[in-house]
Structure 1
């Protein structure tokens, strides 16, 4: 447990689809205590709060509450900056669902405001803290694939309107497959290969509208105002080159979600939307071999990024503590925005931010 702050009191803003996974984590980690819940739907906030021993509040009441140390920001992307900046102004820490913000400008304002206020800011995804990506990292760091040369990241699906009852924001600026799902893949690539220096991109949109497939709005048509298929090339500072394809326009893919290739071996990495999974290594002699779990939080789930910041001492004022810092989330956002910009302008785009590669997670039974 963190020595300076005995327990981190969490106020959750946004009680939509993703909140259930965070609530499950909060309910089993003694170091994190849910004290307040806010949502645009007051009845939903009251229901969630009652089920978890918290109080339902409106957003500003939660942000001002003396019973809240950190705001868990689970709103839609276009609201991330507004909620985060209000919380920072009130002296609260913030942990935000991915992406950090709808634009780099908004994300930068959040990180700079937190730095000036001396409060913690962190951002999802925290799937990279699990045993899947961390075991793959341990293989890379131990030199078993030699110098990392390249990587591929692939996600091809029909689109979230099949299952999400309110998928509108996925097809507006700030959404799309890259900004929605890209953070999992790009955060993993940066964790494995380091920060990105330059990108190239291309994009398209197969349809001008989508049809909601489930829930009370089933059959309703949605306009598409952002690319729904994006391809990018990421040139890392290390010299490694990653190829990324994120699409809501296909049906399926047989490709591995993540592959890393080095001079002496290749790795397959499990789906970065998950925390665990099988890592396989091929060194050219015995074919593909499963790698035993060797690093990461054994029982990681959504919310472990916030817990890791707490366990690492970030809320005790230790600068740079924790692996889900806002600077990393901002870098990921800048990379994604730059890929879209490169797709529009037809030339490569340099990345200004250059965060340190997050520290590895030793095998941890939590």
Structure 2
């Protein structure tokens, strides 16, 4: 395979073919640097040496009625996670402030559940307005499940810029990871978000027993949907879920997946999301030569590496935080963030309590 040719074509905005995408996933370990180099061509062509930093604010945690097999918040989960209803607007803004101070350009407001009621959409809108009032240049991405008529427009009016709803698995694999809703339901919400004027953010989780063909199927489905931002997650096999103990990925596998998605979607923001610390480990920095976006610090129900380690990694790669005029003032303080979430949760309980 002519890796250089794939990278050159992608740097012009052209997608590689499904056959070429499959070949990327099947490369040998001694070809991994050639794969990374090819995928780096469109990454630098369209995003330069910038890294977009994203920060999660978990507005509502646990007690989801859906049975997604990978999720620590699923119906029947016994994972030891924090469970709470809704953070107050004050506490949500305070949590967001810690990430913004560290250089985050996008704040992701996430709420567990099948989908928001109109009242809950109003809560997200209130938090969005409060963050924008304090930080007008920060982007807001909402993620609250399946959207109903008119809800996307309410979010747009409040200043929300994007909506995240991951496909998570290929259509052909979806029945093996969830039974309470369908792949088509997920596509419907991505399309609703897009139609309402929200930037579509949609990605997936690798490592759930899918085939190479299904990963390629997903990458092209996201291209067809026009996903502006694609979070690539690597399975965290939570205790208390059906996927406990599942670990099919190597660090090289993760780099191949990132490279394949980049070459299929050369102009999209590719974000290394949950699981990068567990699976990529010391090779995370190579991932930055493919992806142009990461989450800073912790995820929804799992810890990431310290925020300062993320910032140092970006600098060590010779890259800069997008939009940062100077060095970040502070990194997120895990103790303060957890305290804010606990305060907002009131009488919350641990899942295993």
Higher strand proportion, which one? 1
| Greater helix share, structure number | 2
TM-score (norm 2): 0.29
